[in-house]
Amino acid sequence: MTRDRTALPALSRKTYRAALRELQIELVKLHRHVIRHGHKVLVILEGRDAAGKDGVIKRIVEHLSPREVRVVALGKPSDRERSQWYFQRFASQLPAAQEIVLFNRSWYNRAGVERVMGFCTAAQSEAFFETVPGFERMLIRSGIRFLKYYLDISRAEQSRRLKQRRHDPLSAWKISPIDAMALKHWDDYTRARNEMLHRTHHEEAPWIVVRADDKRQARLNLIRDLLSRIRCPGVRKHRVRPNPAVVRRFDPALVKNGWLAS
């Protein structure tokens, strides 16, 4: 089923920038609250190549204190790291008190890229699915406020963005051999996404799915959702209600009815 795109009104650059500025002001309030009360906040962003993770993270951290905000984008594991407990190198990057940490891809690489591209065994993949809910519950019980987002784009939009990336000298750093395989393995990634969402969505750490074909709508509504999920007395709640046409808590029906790209 092809998902309906008519529900997303196009935003002019002026309207988008005005809305983004208002939300970034609310993010600053939230950040001051996190610092003042010693909270620990962890946000992970997943999605296919070119889904817009970098752009969302850039807008979230743009006006926050660089001393208390970190962006984690781990590269290929070393031989030593491959011999460790799988979650070990991620655990070392978790937030301390007063910190907001954003993972640009995370341990869910094992459920996506590693699985599709054959970088892990079937046994390792199954062990991950059995282990990750417990690992995440441990994080939450330790006092970490934990949010996880999946940015979902259509095949046509991914193709357009990857082509644009190849011809943009400012985006050359984003190009990798994996990009060339993204469209070839579209169906494999779809199956991997569906299983990941089904098996790792749980009450303590639910998946929040963002329709990301429209970058402006995705950025604004993901930030609204983030602000709505972390309690902060100073944040104006009427300004941070996400559009359900863009952001939804995962439900298996989203796969069946075509709300998620297939």
Residue 7 in domain: no
Q: What is the mean pLDDT of the chain?
A: 94
Q: 76-112: per-residue pLDDT in tens?
A: 999 999 999 999 999 999 999 999 999 999 999 999 9
In the prediction, which pLDDT does 1 show?
Answer: 38
| CA angle at 150 for the pair 148 and 154, rounded to the nearest 5° | 175
Residue 126 within a domain: yes
Residue 117 lies in a domain: yes
| pTM recorded for the entire structure | 0.94
Range of the domain at 57: 13-256
Model confidence band, residue 245 (pLDDT cutoffs 50, 70, 90): very high
Query: Would residue 4 count as lying in a domain?
Result: no
Q: What is the DSSP string of 149-161?
A: EEEE--HHHHHHH
**pLDDT of 4 over the 60 cut:** no
Give a yes or no: residue 176 inside a domain.
yes
| Residue at 6 is within a domain | no
Average pLDDT over residues 246-255: 98
CA-nearest of 208, 159, 207, 200 to 179 is 159
Interval 11-49: pLDDT, tens? 999 999 999 999 999 999 999 999 999 999 999 999 999
In a domain, 247, yes or no: yes
Task: Report DSSP letters for the chain, one per residue.
Answer: -PPP-TTS----HHHHHHHHHHHHHHHHHHHHHHHHHT-EEEEEEEESTTSSHHHHHHHHHTTS-TTTEEEE---SPPHHHHTS-TTHHHHTT---TTEEEEEES-GGGGGTHHHHTTSS-HHHHHHHHHHHHHHHHHHHHTTEEEEEEEEE--HHHHHHHHHHHHT-GGGGGG--HHHHHHTTTHHHHHHHHHHHHHHH-BTTB-EEEEE-SSHHHHHHHHHHHHHHHS--TTS-GGG----TTTEEE--THHHHTTSS--
Query: Domains in the chain: how many in total?
Result: 1
Taking residues 228-232, what's their average pLDDT? 93
pLDDT of 166 strictly over 90: no
The reply to whether 163 falls in a domain is yes
CATH of the domain at 172: 3.40.50.300
User: Position 197: which residue type?
Assistant: L
Instruction: Output the CA–CA distances (angstroms, integers) from residue 132 to 108, 146, 212, in the order listed.
Output: 9, 13, 25
Average the pLDDT over 171-179 and give the result.
76
